[in-house]
Structures are given as structure tokens and as C-alpha cells.
Structure 1
Amino acid sequence: MDGGEAVIRSAVDNFGQVDVLVNSVGVLQDRMIYRMTPDDWDRVIRYNVKGVFSPTKFAAILFRQQRSGRVVNFTSDAGLGDIGRSNYAAASEAIIGLTRTVGRDLGRYGVTCNAISPLVETRLFPGSVEEFRVVQGPSPTPAERAGIGQSPPVSEWEGEGSPDDPANVAPLAVYLSTYAAPNVNCNVFGVRGGSIYLYSNPEIANAIHKWGTFTMDEMDVLVPKIFGKGL
């Protein structure tokens, strides 16, 4: 917590105020769930989730006072389902939940909070995207998990770098840090190659209603009947 406060205080001391906070931090400790240790779990949760919470908490104090501010959190698609990354998946989904809640906590003060889930080459994922898929074996690709399919083919990449260059994420991060879209709040975006995606928020797909406690006999009948088509 001292480090998060020091980052915000340094920004104020050097620039007078804080207008934007981008939380881009992450560690990996991959293991199958039956081999994962408490240390493996705690390290990823602590660094990835608390690493977002700490500076956000102190920036939020200033944003609330000045009635303005932008928060952009980086997360991943691991929470959609991955192999050997239960800790990273949990941390990624925690950041998404944190994003939606911070946006609601601060929205009334003119502050927005959004998240970006990029699929690019970084120090955390140094191999190419295609190589990463091969290593993962039968695990669905992030694009498959998200249901976004393949990026549309292009004859020639426009601009510097490559489709897997982290610089491709910068335009969206900058846009979300401006006041061009004041009503864009509590959303999760994806960046892959030359495409930008807006993820849907969770919603109730179906429901079973009874004014009382369900019996197991009722469950045996109702669950397959009502939910069966979607499961």
C-alpha cells in the first residue's frame, strides 16, 4: 500500500495533479490446479489484484475531490478458461469485477474506469501468439474463448511493428484516458491484431422460479427442462 500511495504522491509532486491512472501489472505462476501451492496462488493474486487496488485507492481520493479522472486497468481473457492458470484466471476476473465496481463508485464524480484485455507479445508473454497457442495444446485460444473468432485478413500491416506489438493497444488506452467518451464506463475491451472488441457484461440467461425451497425431485425435472438447452 505504501508503494501505491508513493506513486500517486510522486505524480502530484511532479505534475501538480493526477488525471489518468493506467494499471498495467502482472505476474504468472502457472501450475495445474492439483499441483498449485498456496504460495503460487497468493503471489499471483497479491501482485495482480492488489497491484491494481493499491494505486487506484489513492488516485480515487484525488479524483473524487477534483471531480474528474480516468482509470484504465489491464486484465486478460484467462478467466474465460485456460489450462494451468487458475490463479491468473481468478486474478483477471477479479480485476474485471474491480473495474466495474470502481466505475460505479466514482462515476457520480465524473470519473470512469474501464479495462483492456490485450493479446500481444510482452515480457510476460514473450513468445508469439501462435507459438503460445501451440504450447497450450488443446486449450482454446483466447479468441475462441471470447467468441470473437479470427481477425479479418489484411494484405499488409499498416504502421510500425506487427499485429502482436503491444503498441497496438496504446491508441485504445489513450482514448479511454481522455474525455472524448465521458459515458464509456465499467466496460471491458479486447485488443487483438487490428481489431478492438467490446465484451458484453454478464446477464441472467434463464431462470427457474418458485415461491419456496426447491425439492430434489423438482430439481431433477426443472433443471434439465429449463436450463438443459443452454448447458
Structure 2
Amino acid sequence: MAQLEGKPLDGKVAVVTGAGRGIGARTAVRLANDGADVAVIDINEESTRDTVAEIEALGRRAIGVACDVSDEASVTAAAERVQNELGAIGVLVNNAGVLRDNLLFKMSASDWDTVLGVHLRGAFLWSRAAQAQMVPNKWGKIVNLSSTSALGNRGQANYSAAKAGMQGFTKSLAIELGPFGINVNAVAPGFIVTDMTRATAERTHTDFEAMQKAAAEHIPVRRVGRPEDIANVVSFLVSEDASYVSGQVIYVAGGPKA
């Protein structure tokens, strides 16, 4: 298929972590539709294959890269591979995440460390690696995935802390990196239908369809979200239309939050 032309991200290289499925996969494909070549990052390369194939079908370059986002050496090696095979990173979406839900008195230190490690440490390591490639070009876009859980959620002290931390991290990076032409923002999804929310239903022994219906009744727009809803907002934030938007947390939850 011929290369697409006249797209907002033509000539740019995007990295999306946790892009094997769900929000990450839809975001990676949306950025490819916007013209970017995309590095699809996930814990193992096998998980990236469907997303890579979908991007390549659009006529864009894509590579699947196995990376433990919480491991410094793994992130460094992955960022170097992206630069060598696709070019300098221009867009970074820190989406990788895990759940280890439990009430505080049942939560293990390992459950805490794993969630904070993947979400916050992972965002830190990838942002640090990406900005080193962005600064010389005086252009870059970083979007961090927060959550409405940043406002507090029973049984998610670790996840809520990580997602609240992501917001402070975003605002600090916006201040530091703004002078170098880099915009940094966060998106905070509400209820989105993904494998992760399905796992929450299973953990609580709740029918997933019933969970969605109950959630929709409390959402002003009367529906739950789809991964594409998040991808659409990320697409805007990494475009030049949002060049004067930085340090912001956009709640994408079907109604007002925070």
C-alpha cells in the first residue's frame, strides 16, 4: 500500500508502551493513521504482532519491541533500537500498566512495588530516554496515562497512588521540557472496556456486561468508554493543534471529573 500523505505526524516516530492490546493498541494504530511510524512496546514481542501487522497494513513502518518498562537496561536498549530502526523518537505515550488490586491490609509489598514500578518508574525511564532524542530536534510530545482512580478507589491504593503520581510527574516534565519544544500532558480515562476492566470484573466475581451497564447508569453520557475514545484524545494532544497545551490532565470519562 502506498504511503499516506499529508498527515499530522508524517515523518515522526512514535513509541507506545503496553501497545499489544486495549488502549495502547488503539492508540498505536491511531498514531499510524495520523502518519507516524510506530514502535509497539510490550512485555514480550509476541504480544505486539497483531498491532504491528495492523499498522503495516496502513502503509506505515512498525516494529514490535519487547521491553520491561520498569527495568532501566531494558528501556535503554529498547529506545536505542527504536532510534536505529525507525529514527529519533518524537512522540511517547506511556500507557503500560498492570493491576494488583487488594485492600490495604491484604496488599503485599510486592503488589505495591510492581504497580508503582510499571506505571511510575516505567514512565520515568521511558520519558528520560525519549527526551534525550527529542531535545536535539527541539520537538516532542509525551502523553502519560493516568486514570480516574487517581481520585481514589477502594482496593486500589497502589494503582491510585501510581495514577495520581503520574499527574504530578506530567506537570513537572511540562515545566522542565517546555523550553525544549516538548509538550507533556496526561489523559485520565474513566471506565473503558478493556481486558483490564474485564479482569476487575472477574476478580470481584461480577458479570462483565452487568458491570458495564451499572457503570453507564452513573456516567453523564450514559455509556462506558472504548479504547478509541482515549486514542482520539491522545491524537489531539500530540498534534500541532495542541502546541499550546502542556502540563494538563484531561479526564476522558463521559462527564466532569477532578
- TM-score, length basis structure 2: 0.63
In 1, the alpha carbon distance for the partners of 2:213 and 2:246 equals 32
Query: Which deviates more from structure 2 when the two are superposed, residues 1-10 or residues 97-106?
Result: 1-10
Give the corresponding residue for 1:94: 165
The structure 2 residue matched to 1:178, chosen from 212, 220, 239, is 239
Query: What's the Cα RMSD here?
Result: 2.5
Task: Give yes or no for contact 2:143–2:185 (8 Å, CA) kept in 1.
Answer: yes
1:121 aligns with 2:203: no
After superposition, the C-alpha distances for 1:137-190 in whole angstroms (9 at most, x for unaligned) are xxxx7x9xxxxx73335xxxxxxxx85321121111111111112110000012
Give the corresponding residue for 1:192: 253
Give the corresponding residue for 1:80: 151
Task: Give yes or no for contact 1:121–1:129 (8 Å, CA) kept in 2.
Answer: no
After superposition, the C-alpha distances for 1:102-124 in whole angstroms (9 at most, x for unaligned) are 11110011101101111211121
- Which runs of 5 or more structure 2 residues have no equivalent in the other structure? 1-71, 202-207
After superposition, the C-alpha distances for 1:52-78 in whole angstroms (9 at most, x for unaligned) are 111110111121221110001111111
Provide the secondary structure at the position in 1 that maps to 2:106.
coil
Q: Structure 1 residues 84, 66: closer, same or farther in 2, change over 3 A?
A: same
Give the corresponding residue for 2:119: 48
The structure 1 residue matched to 2:179, chosen from 108, 114, 117, is 108
Question: Which structure dedicates a bigger proportion of its chain to helix?
Answer: 2
What one-letter code is carried by the residue in structure 2 that aligns with 1:131? M
Q: Structure 1 residues 130, 51: closer, same or farther in 2, change over 3 A?
A: farther
In 2, the alpha carbon distance for the partners of 1:163 and 1:76 equals 14
Give the corresponding residue for 1:31: 102
Give the corresponding residue for 2:221: 152
What one-letter code is carried by the residue in structure 1 that aligns with 2:98? V
Shift of 1:130: 5.9
Q: Structure 1 residues 91, 168: closer, same or farther in 2, change over 3 A?
A: same
The structure 1 residue matched to 2:211, chosen from 131, 141, 145, is 131
The structure 2 residue matched to 1:168, chosen from 217, 226, 229, is 229
Task: Give yes or no for contact 1:67–1:110 (8 Å, CA) kept in 2.
Answer: yes
Q: Structure 1 residues 6, 133: closer, same or farther in 2, change over 3 A?
A: farther
Give the corresponding residue for 2:10: none
In 2, the alpha carbon distance for the partners of 1:163 and 1:89 equals 20
Query: Which deviates more from structure 2 when the two are superposed, residues 16-25 or residues 2-11?
Result: 2-11
- Which runs of 5 or more structure 1 residues have no equivalent in the other structure? 135-140, 144-148, 154-161, 201-231
Task: Give yes or no for contact 1:129–1:164 (8 Å, CA) kept in 2.
Answer: no
Task: Give yes or no for contact 1:7–1:55 (8 Å, CA) kept in 2.
Answer: no
In 1, the alpha carbon distance for the partners of 2:210 and 2:184 equals 31
Provide the secondary structure at the position in 2 that maps to 1:59.
helix
Give the aligned length. Answer: 178
What one-letter code is carried by the residue in structure 2 that aligns with 1:184? V
What one-letter code is carried by the residue in structure 1 that aligns with 2:211? E
Q: Structure 1 residues 182, 130: closer, same or farther in 2, change over 3 A?
A: farther
Shift of 1:129: 8.2
- TM-score, length basis structure 1: 0.69
Provide the secondary structure at the position in 2 that maps to 1:82.
coil
Give the corresponding residue for 2:91: 20
In 1, the alpha carbon distance for the partners of 2:102 and 2:153 equals 11
Q: Which has the larger radius of gyration?
A: 1
